[in-house]
Chains A and B, each alone.
Chain A
Amino acid sequence: MNERNSESEPPGSAATAATSRRGLVPWLIHQAARRAPAPLAERLEEEWLADLWTRSSTISRLGFALGCCWATGIIASEYCVLAAPAATARGASVWNQADPEPGLFPRHSLAVISVLGFHLAIIAVLLVGLGGKIQHFATPHLEIRQLTNPERPPLREDLPKPEVIHKAFTIPIPEDPTLPEPNEERHISAAPADGQVQAGAGTAAEQLFGHAPNVSRVAGGPGTGFPNTDDFYPSVSKFRGEQGVVTVQVCVDPTGRLTAEPTLAESSGVPRLNAGALRLARAGSGHYRASTEDGSPVNSCFSFRVHFRLAN
């Protein structure tokens, strides 16, 4: 593991690390890295400060720093175990190499102080946040006045009286409105979620007024050569026994290739399965059966279900 520190440092990295060391969270990371085995300390501090850069919220940054404090202890103990045989072989003291510097506080004290500080920060945030609301809901000071002779403004006699206009409105009602027969058979097309064939003709408005010709539409779906669902069943989901059904929407051209990124129409409730279904949908590009209108394949969007089921 010593070879990790043998790489040369590019210019500017030390300055960047120094500037990002300001504040409580970078200080915590600095303290955590100082307690790591000496050959790893500098690397871990720079790596953690770089990864801290991606965290935006204060709580997330604080949690990250506390996690680094925790990680230091594990890394230090495992480093001792890994380095012991090699150091013993060359007669060196492992613990001198691996034992972290005493630092400002012992490790456990630092952890306790960090946890206490974290709780105090939460309490402070709650108090500051709720303070305004408590003041808002507090009862205002009441002042009681007794009005002995309330003065009313005199009525003006010179103003004209308002004129009320009565008007009657009539709404013409057609005597014989022509409505379609209620039992008339209609075909309204829709993209089936299960990829089954469904026929229809035009939009509902076109069918109602009879202006559009009948078009036979067949929805597309996964076709020949479509990848096997089991190949995209996430291994971790199998391990955890996660099962579910994901509905994926895809848009394909007449050749069955995707024309847009597949989207999630209905979640299974398990993000890992959702991601697996989307990967399957992407991998199936070129193996979709395109939707047809009057037998001719057309550009279309449809959805289909992916079942992730574990074998008994």
Chain B
Amino acid sequence: MVKKDHSVRMSLQTLKVLEAFLEDPAAQLSGADVHQRSAIASGTLYPILMRLEAAGWFTSQWESIDPSSAGRPRRRLYRLTSTGLKRAGEVFGSFNRSVFA
């Protein structure tokens, strides 16, 4: 297993993804949900989700539905970890301090 490095390169798109999760930190969002909230294209969105998951900010799991009865495929749901919540808060906090100090 790859050792998790909690440092993540911040970009505007990464901030947008984090903001989508910070609106409700306990929510589980699929890639499609994040796309609807942040309007980030799939080519950028999924690498960010994978990057944040590899860094331990997110955790993901399959949606617990029966696809045959639900009539649609199960989704991969992402959720902020406690580490991710803390680090995201630090990122936005330090950002606000540096810009509005």
Real binding pair = yes
* Interfacial residues, chain A to chain B (CB-CB below 8 A): 1-4, 7, 10-13, 15-17, 20, 40, 43-44, 46-51, 53-55, 63-64, 66-71, 74-75, 78, 82-83, 85-86, 234-236, 238-240, 310-311
Cβ 8 A contact of B41, one of A20, A48, A67, A310: A67
CB < 8 Å A-B pair total: 126
Are B47 and A74 in touch, CB under 8 angstroms? yes
Q: Which 4 pairs from chain A and chain B are nearest by CB? A: A67-B42, A70-B43, A67-B43, A12-B68
- With A63-B41, A67-B43, A75-B50 known to touch, is A1 a contact of B2 (CB < 8 Å)? yes
A-B contact pairs, 20 of them (CB 8 A): A7-B61, A13-B67, A13-B73, A15-B67, A16-B67, A17-B73, A20-B73, A43-B76, A47-B30, A47-B46, A50-B72, A50-B74, A51-B42, A51-B75, A55-B32, A71-B42, A71-B43, A85-B2, A235-B92, A239-B15
Query: Which parts of B54-94 form the interface with A (CB within 8 Å)?
Result: 54, 60-64, 66-69, 72-76, 92
Residue numbers in B under 8 Å from A10 (CB-CB): 62, 64, 66-67, 74
Name the prevailing secondary structure of the A interface residues: helix
Residue numbers in A under 8 Å from B46 (CB-CB): 44, 47-48, 67-68, 71, 75
Shortest beta-carbon distance from A191 to chain B in Å = 30
Q: How far is the CA of A68 from the CA of B46 in the complex (A)?
A: 8
Cβ 8 A contact of A75, one of B47, B73, B100: B47
Are B43 and A85 in touch, CB under 8 angstroms? no
* Interfacial residues, chain B to chain A (CB-CB below 8 A): 1-3, 12, 15-16, 19, 30-32, 35, 41-47, 50-51, 53-54, 60-64, 66-69, 72-76, 92, 95-96, 99-100
Cβ 8 A contact of A310, one of B51, B75, B100: B100
- With A7-B61, A16-B67, A239-B95 known to touch, is A78 a contact of B73 (CB < 8 Å)? no
Shortest beta-carbon distance from A110 to chain B in Å = 14
Residue numbers in A under 8 Å from B53 (CB-CB): 1
Shortest beta-carbon distance from B54 to chain A in Å = 6
Q: How far is the CA of A159 from the CA of B3 in the complex (A)?
A: 106
**Of all chain B residues, which has the CB nearest A70?**
B43
Residue numbers in A under 8 Å from B16 (CB-CB): 236
- With A50-B76, A67-B42 known to touch, is A311 a contact of B100 (CB < 8 Å)? yes
Shortest beta-carbon distance from B65 to chain A in Å = 8
List 14 additional A-B contacts (Cβ < 8 Å) besides A10-B74, A46-B73.
A4-B60, A10-B67, A15-B67, A47-B75, A50-B72, A50-B75, A51-B31, A51-B35, A55-B32, A66-B43, A67-B41, A67-B44, A67-B46, A70-B42
Residue numbers in A under 8 Å from B1 (CB-CB): 1-3, 86
Shortest beta-carbon distance from A220 to chain B in Å = 28
- With A4-B60, A11-B68, A239-B15 known to touch, is A82 a contact of B2 (CB < 8 Å)? yes
- With A7-B62, A16-B67, A78-B47 known to touch, is A68 a contact of B42 (CB < 8 Å)? yes
Are B74 and A13 in touch, CB under 8 angstroms? yes
Q: How far is the CA of A55 from the CA of B60 in the complex (A)?
A: 22
Shortest beta-carbon distance from A47 to chain B in Å = 4
Are B95 and A235 in touch, CB under 8 angstroms? yes
**Of all chain A residues, which has the CB nearest B72?**
A53
Residue numbers in A under 8 Å from B66 (CB-CB): 10-12
Q: How far is the CA of A86 from the CA of B3 in the complex (A)?
A: 7
Q: How far is the CA of A48 from the CA of B73 in the complex (A)?
A: 10
Residue numbers in A under 8 Å from B47 (CB-CB): 71, 74-75, 78
- With A2-B1, A66-B43, A71-B47 known to touch, is A239 a contact of B73 (CB < 8 Å)? no
Q: How far is the CA of A81 from the CA of B76 in the complex (A)?
A: 24
Residue numbers in B under 8 Å from A7 (CB-CB): 61-62
